[in-house]
Amino acid sequence: MLHAVDHVRLAAHGAEVTWDENLPGHRRFYSRDPVGNRLEFLEPVAGESAGGRRPNSRPTSA
């Protein structure tokens, strides 16, 4: 699991980690690099719906 390693490593180096659960079907957290840029870490969660669509599907145009 990518996030379990990354967020622990960032925190161990003193970086703040902020989890965001507002994207269905994904695990996501943010951190900042030493000069203040926001970094987003994103991972799809198998079997969870992404806003009512299958994971990794694209919306269709009407």
Rounded distance between C-alpha atoms, residue 60 and residue 27, angstroms? 24
What does the pLDDT average to over 45-49?
76
Rounded distance between C-alpha atoms, residue 10 and residue 62, angstroms? 43
Rg (C-alpha) for the chain, rounded Å, is 14
Rounded distance between C-alpha atoms, residue 3 and residue 60, angstroms? 30
Residue 7: the pLDDT is 85
Please tell me the least confidently modeled range out of 18-22, 31-35, 57-61: 57-61
What does the pLDDT average to over 40-51?
79
Q: Which of 49, 6, 5 is nearest to 26 (CA)?
A: 49
Place of tokens 């030493």: 34
What does the pLDDT average to over 27-52?
85
- Higher pLDDT among residues 52 and 49, named by residue: 49
Q: Which CATH number fits domain 2-44: 3.30.110, 3.30.720, 3.40.50, 3.30.70?
A: 3.30.720
Indicate the domain borders of the chain.
2-44
